[in-house]
Amino acid sequence: QYQAGRSGCLVADVRMPGMSGLDLQDYLVEHNIRIPVVIITGHGDVPMAVRAMKSGAVDFIEKPFNDEVLLDAIRRAIAFEEQQRSHESENHLIQQRLASLTPREHEVMQMVTEGRSNKEIANTLGVSAKTIEAHRARVMEKMQAGSLAELVRMALSVSGDH
């Protein structure tokens, strides 16, 4: 009963009637259904565990196992999902802030986050250093960045280079 936007965790056994837990996991990945998965099995081997983890399983547990082991795996999976949601929410806010920048402010932000000085940026764009200072101040304000390091972190988080 998966519902996008709701927190949860899928516990799947490798051997299930109809579709194996690993095949179910592959199906979820193919259909961009992002829910943390814990795979359990009584018949595991290293290649099977590797396949599960490469497909994004949070954990791979072999039977027999203590109930607490499974509960700990589920807790880790839900904490991981919450962290992912928080990261996605932060990226969405950054994207909204980026959308508020003018094309010139985008250019200035790009060059600032590359480590270029105001003077270098001014020379590249054919404007005064004072003009760049004004653009840079507006970029910092619109992006709600308290420091250059924070602005760089934002730029990296939306570019996928983090």
pLDDT of residue 3: 80
- Which residues, at least 6 apart from 151, have a Cβ–Cβ distance to it below 8 Å? 109, 112, 113, 139, 140, 143, 145
Is the pLDDT assigned to residue 162 strictly greater than 80?
no
Please state, as a whole number, how many other Cβ atoms lie within 10 Å of the Cβ of residue 133. 14
pLDDT in tens, 21-73: 999 999 999 998 889 999 999 988 888 899 999 998 999 999 999 999 999 99
pLDDT in tens, 88-140: 889 999 999 999 999 999 999 999 999 999 999 999 999 999 999 999 999 99
